[in-house]
A and B are shown apart, each in its own frame.
Chain A
Amino acid sequence: MDLTWLPKPSPHVQNTEWRSFKARARRLNGFAQLTNLYIAAFPMPVPDSQDLRSLVRPDRVHHSVYSDPALFELELDRIFGRTWLLLGHASQVASPGDWFTTRMGRLPVIVSRDHSGAVRVLINRCTHRGALVCHEPSGHSRAFVCPYHGWGFELDGRLTGVPVPQGYGDQRQQVFAEMGLRAVPRVELYRGFIFASLSPTGPDLADFLGPLASSFDDLVDRAPDGEVEVAGGVFKHTYEGNWKLVLENHLDGVHPNHVHISSVHVARDAADPGQPEKYADISIRQMRQNGAPEPVWEAIGMWTSDWGHGYMGDYHSDGRLVVGLNNPVFADYRKRLEQRVGAEEAQRILGVTRWNTIVYPNVSFMSQFRQLRIVHPLAVNRTVVYTYNLRLKGAPEQMFRDTVAFSNVVNGTASWVLTDDLEVYGRVQKGLEAAQPEWVNLARGVGGDVPEGELLRGGTGTSEIFIRRQFDAWLRYMCADSSGSAA
Chain B
Amino acid sequence: MVNLGTNSGALERVREFETAKGVAEPKTVLSASRSGLGLVFWLSFGWVAFMILLAIFASLLPLKNPNFQDYTAVNIGPSVHHLLGTDDLGRDLLARIIFGSRVSLIIGFASVGLALLVGGFFGLLAGYRGGWVDSILNAGSLVVLAFPALLAILVIEAFWTPRTLLKLTIIFAVAGAPSLFRVIRATTLSFATREFVVAARTMGATTRRIIFRELLPNVIPAAVSFALIGVAVAIILEGSLAFLGLSISLPTASLGNIINEGVQNNNLQLNAFIALWPSLYIFILLTALNLMADRLRTRFDVRAGNL
A binds B: no
User: What residues make up the interface of A, taking CB atoms closer than 8 Å to B?
Assistant: none
